[in-house]
Amino acid sequence: MFNKILVVCVGNICRSPTAERLLKSYHPSLTVESAGLGALVGRGADRSAVSVAAAHNLSLEGHCARQISGRMCRDYDLILGDGKTPYRQTVRDGARDARESDVVRPLGQRA
């Protein structure tokens, strides 16, 4: 069972924060957070992402973009990426000491 999930994209202002909030809405007991490979650190969610999220009854209020780190990769049970982001090697390098970590694409396809 995965208890701590990290969602990764590039800027951490559109896709990953939206996916983070969506996962939290379905599984409120899990720890779900997001980060970016080239994060626009400190920025809130992009207006277009806020609009899309709102159309699905999700709020991106309070989101603050943050940069992924090796420590994050080791601290999460599951790391999800969108398949468009060149995150694979970065995440694998950071997660090499993790007890249980995986990198997946949407729909469960292994990266």
Residues annotated as catalytic (active site), given as ranges: 9, 15
Sign (positive or negative) of CA dihedral 73, 101, 91, 35: negative
Using CB atoms within 10 A of its CB, is residue 88 exposed (0-12), middle (13-18) or buried (19+)?
A: middle
Measured distance CA(87)–CA(27) in Å, rounded: 25
